[in-house]
Amino acid sequence: QAQLVESGGGLVQPGGSLRLSCAGSGLTLDRYHIGWFRQAPGKEREAVSCVSVDGTTYYADSVTGRFTVSRDNGKNTVFLQMNDLRPEDTAVYYCATARFAMIYDWSRHYEYDTWGQGTQVTVSS
């Protein structure tokens, strides 16, 4: 069964860093555009970043300059390096595979069909 598994979340102080991992099982991730989304309590799911099949990267304005998305195809894993974390980054973070080879708007959740279970990131002193 194809699935994505996120890991690497946790509790970190403001200004700290975390690296999230998104591992594919039954999926070869280098064949897919991979998106990262997050959802805070009481808020809608919002787009964070995306890495396309050719390695092009996209970021939400709120994380540009602080977050970096990358692939390790040998490990069938996509990473989200998060630096200079802020309390407003607190959320459950999800990765997802794009539904089609052509993606029109990487920030729209309907572009993606397979989602991981999420990993909690809490930024607090």
Q: What string of H, E and C letters represents the secondary structure of 63-123?
A: CCCCEEEEEEHHHCEEEEEECCCCHHHCEEEEEEEECCCCCCCCCCHHHEEEECCCEEEEE
- What is the arithmetic mean of pLDDT over 49-56? 96
Residue of 107, 96, 116, 98 lying closest to 32 (CA atoms): 98
- What is the arithmetic mean of pLDDT over 86-97? 98
What per-residue confidence (pLDDT) applies to 101? Answer: 87
**Which amino acid, one-letter code, is at 19?**
R
pLDDT tens, residue by residue, 58-89: 999 999 999 999 999 999 999 999 999 999 99
Give 102's pLDDT tier (boundaries 50, 70, 90).
confident
Sheet strands side by side (includes 67-72): 3-7, 18-25, 77-82, 67-72
Residue of 88, 124, 95 lying closest to 112 (CA atoms): 95
